[in-house]
Amino acid sequence: MTLYLLLKFLHVLAAMVAVGTNATYGLLLARAHREPAHLAHVRESVRALDRSIANPAYAVVLVTGLLLVWIGPVPLAAPWLLSALLLFLLAAVLGLGVLTPLTRRQSRVLQGQGPQAAEYARLRRRINHISGLAAALVLLILWLMVMKPPLWAR
């Protein structure tokens, strides 16, 4: 197996792990909101999944992707690839720079006022909207990486 194929395998595997882990959060949190006694535990579990599995997997996606560009046949300037990289960076900024502080604030409100607090509900709506945007960015990245659209393929 060549180094390029090994890196490509690790890149795809890490993307599957990262996206798959993130995909579970909505279901876990929706179920926890129906059983508030478990909400704090589920939120901490989601946070632990994010820190120990999803975010490291996204880092592997970035590193292996850049290594693939460095040793492979596709230049970084390929429009579909450059677009995907810029969207990846935007999704990372949304995740680390916006969602992380919002969820920390939401955790403090949950601990201090409980899940019925108006501020908790407001933060939940905002987090859901931003999470939806981040998920859409990730889906667009996946589409670009798989389809390499002809408009952007030159």
SS (H, E, C) 15-36: HHHHHHHHHHHHHHHHHHHHCH
With beta carbons less than 8 A apart as the criterion, state whether 19 and 142 touch.
Answer: yes
pLDDT digits 0-9 by tens, 63-122: 999 999 999 999 999 999 999 999 999 999 999 999 999 999 999 999 999 999 999 999
For 97, the token pair is 């720079």
- With tokens 């450059």, the residue in question is 82
Query: Given this model, what pLDDT does residue 152 score?
Result: 53
Is the pLDDT score of 30 beyond 80?
yes
Query: Given this model, what pLDDT does residue 150 score?
Result: 76
Q: Average pLDDT for residues 132-152, to the nearest whole number?
A: 91
Task: Give me Rg for the CA atoms of the chain.
Answer: 18
Query: Given this model, what pLDDT does residue 8 score?
Result: 97
> Any residues with CB less than 8 A from the CB of 43 and at least 6 apart, and which?
29, 32, 103, 107, 110
Counting every residue written for the chain, the total comes to: 154
The model's pTM: 0.91
Query: Given this model, what pLDDT does residue 1 score?
Result: 72
Average pLDDT of the residues of the chain: 95
Is the pLDDT score of 153 beyond 70?
no
Pick the more confident residue, 44 or 1: 44
